[in-house]
A and B are shown apart, each in its own frame.
Chain A
Amino acid sequence: DAKTTQPNSMESNEEEPVHLPCNHSTISGTDYIHWYRQLPSQGPEYVIHGLTSNVNNRMASLAIAEDRKSSTLILHRATLRDAAVYYCILRGLPINDYKLSFGAGTTVTVRA
């Protein structure tokens, strides 16, 4: 499985943007980039995913580098509720039933 590398932790102030980087230099052409987050004492929840183009949804934006070897999750205005561990995952191939294998993730702290 292709691996991802993320910083261990990031801090942000409330209502400021947060840019979370993810390196995936061994990504293959068919790997989708998925982001999940896990709030304290909860199961992970989906944030966003993409293949080549940048993506936006109500939670965040995903910027994917042209060579696809890295991506950045952008939280436009952090709130206290955004404090969580954020995981960047390369979704596996159909032959592997699209398995989701989590890396270490980035712990995001939001200061009031």
Chain B
Amino acid sequence: DTEVTQTPKHLVMGMTNKKSLKCEQHMGHRAMYWYKQKAKKPPELMFVYSYEKLSINESVPSRFSPECPNSSLLNLHLHALQPEDSALYLCASRNRAKNTEAFFGQGTRLTVV
């Protein structure tokens, strides 16, 4: 199984809502990533988790709160977002111990209204 599964595929939320994005992989990868991608732009790295600990935060606003409750699951909690946060949110995982490729999910298309 080489899949990274992201749910939901689409999400519409108001600026006062709290929602969460979920990412799951069962490849035993101990590095997991969140990216944000605006239309016609490359993915921008947001967070990196290594062995379930946050290792990189690319100066992301606190309205985005990541969580890695176990080695298979990565969440992104959203609160008080702005319309400009509307984007495709991508999750990826990688074998931390080896120089191998990253596997990406299909993303969650988020719209903030």
Which chain A residues have a beta carbon within 8 Å of chain B's beta carbons?
32, 34, 36, 42-46, 49, 85, 87, 91, 96-105
A54 to B48, CA, bound (A): 30
Which residues of the other chain, A, contact B90 by a CB distance below 8 angstroms? Answer: 43-44
- How does the 8 Å CB contact mask read for B29-69 relative to A, with 1 for contact and 0 for none? 00101010000001111001010000110000000000000
A87 to B90, CA, bound (A): 16
Q: Indicate which residue in B44, B96, B99, B101 contacts A102 across the interface (CB closer than 8 Å).
A: B44
B45 touches A101 (CB 8 A): yes
- How does the 8 Å CB contact mask read for B17-38 relative to A, with 1 for contact and 0 for none? 0000000000000010101000
Which chain B residues have a beta carbon within 8 Å of chain A's beta carbons?
4, 31, 33, 35, 42-45, 48, 50, 55-56, 90, 92, 94, 96, 99, 101-107
B55 touches A43 (CB 8 A): no
A99 touches B48 (CB 8 A): yes
A45 to B45, CA, bound (A): 16
A46 touches B101 (CB 8 A): yes
A42 to B90, CA, bound (A): 10
Shortest CB distance B38–A (Å): 12
A102 to B92, CA, bound (A): 13
A103 to B92, CA, bound (A): 17
- With contacts A49-B101, A97-B48, A97-B96 known, is A42 near B106, CB below 8 A? yes
A43 touches B104 (CB 8 A): yes
